Amino acid sequence: MALASLPVSPSRPPHRRAPAAGDVAGNLERGEVPWLDRAWLISIGAVIPDIDARLRNHPHEAFVELFAATGMDSTSGASTSFYCVFDDTIHLVAGPHADPDQHLRDWIHELVHATGHASRLGRALPDSFGRHVHPREDLVVEIGTAIVCLGLDIAPRLRHPDAIPGWIELLCSDPSQLPSAMADARAAAAWLFACRDAQAAAYELWLAGELQREREEAAAASAARRVRRQMEVNRWALRYAALRRRIGDRRRGRRLGEPAPAGQAGLHR
């Protein structure tokens, strides 16, 4: 299944009231970031999957599984983390990292940017990032990053607080940008989780096939062993039968190997 064809953007139930752009702008003006709250994200229809029990309290391992499933490329050594549209690669700051969780948040942030590539969800991505001249894409990615972080058991944080004035201006000038940005954020997070789930399903299918093959091979080997064992049992039975005949001949006073008297051949007591 092509990654771009994976199901994304779960629809928001109609009974939920979408937050107003003015309310969100007001929250931001007061220094409140609503999408850092799980309840707010759920209220806009974000699907935050349950954390796999084996990965609970292990967010780094959970992220590795997610990133590997996307098939995206990343490289380390940049002075600041960014996603490049032209080479479709995530460039990360070189380690070591004083705050590993913050490094993961940066990586997830750029990963959400990368979901907008034409080969994936096809958002209208800017040619470059980092100067906050594209507030809508930044808003999509900030919300999407929060959803993914919560789905990986990582506490979300605001990565670009200096972008808040641009978001306020965007929401006040065009309130319709908020619902479309939230929809794109949900779609980006859902696409990433769908990639992970598809790979997990493929792995489980492969593992089930391998275990079945091992069972079949073990059954075939066991059958072969039973055949060899029965052949050995038969061989020993023939040897014991021959030995019993020789012992019976000796008891009857004949030399070993001497033919039995006429009329007694084949008789054994």
Residue with the bigger pLDDT between 6 and 185: it is 185
Query: Any idea which of 54-58, 83-87, 143-147 has the lowest mean pLDDT?
Result: 54-58
pLDDT grade, residue 10 (50/70/90)?
very low
C-alpha R_g of the chain: 35
DSSP secondary-structure letter at 262? T
146 in the Ramachandran plot: left (φ > 0), alpha (ψ -120 to 50) or beta?
alpha
* Rounded-to-integer distance, Cα 89 and Cα 82, Å: 9
Task: Give the number of other Cβ atoms within 10 Å of residue 143's Cβ.
Answer: 27
Residue with the bigger pLDDT between 93 and 133: it is 93
pTM reported for the whole predicted model: 0.74
Which of 93, 131, 129 has its CA nearest to residue 112?
129
Query: Residue range 130-143: average pLDDT?
Result: 82
Residue 3 reports pLDDT greater than 70: no
Half-sphere exposure of 12 (CA within 13 A, CB side): 21
Position 171 scores a pLDDT of 94
- Residue in the block written with tokens 């349950």: 50
Query: Any idea which of 89-93, 145-149, 259-263 has the lowest mean pLDDT?
Result: 259-263
Residue percentage of the chain with pLDDT more than 90? 49
Position 252 scores a pLDDT of 65
How is the chain split into domains, by residue range? 20-202
Query: Residue range 186-197: average pLDDT?
Result: 96
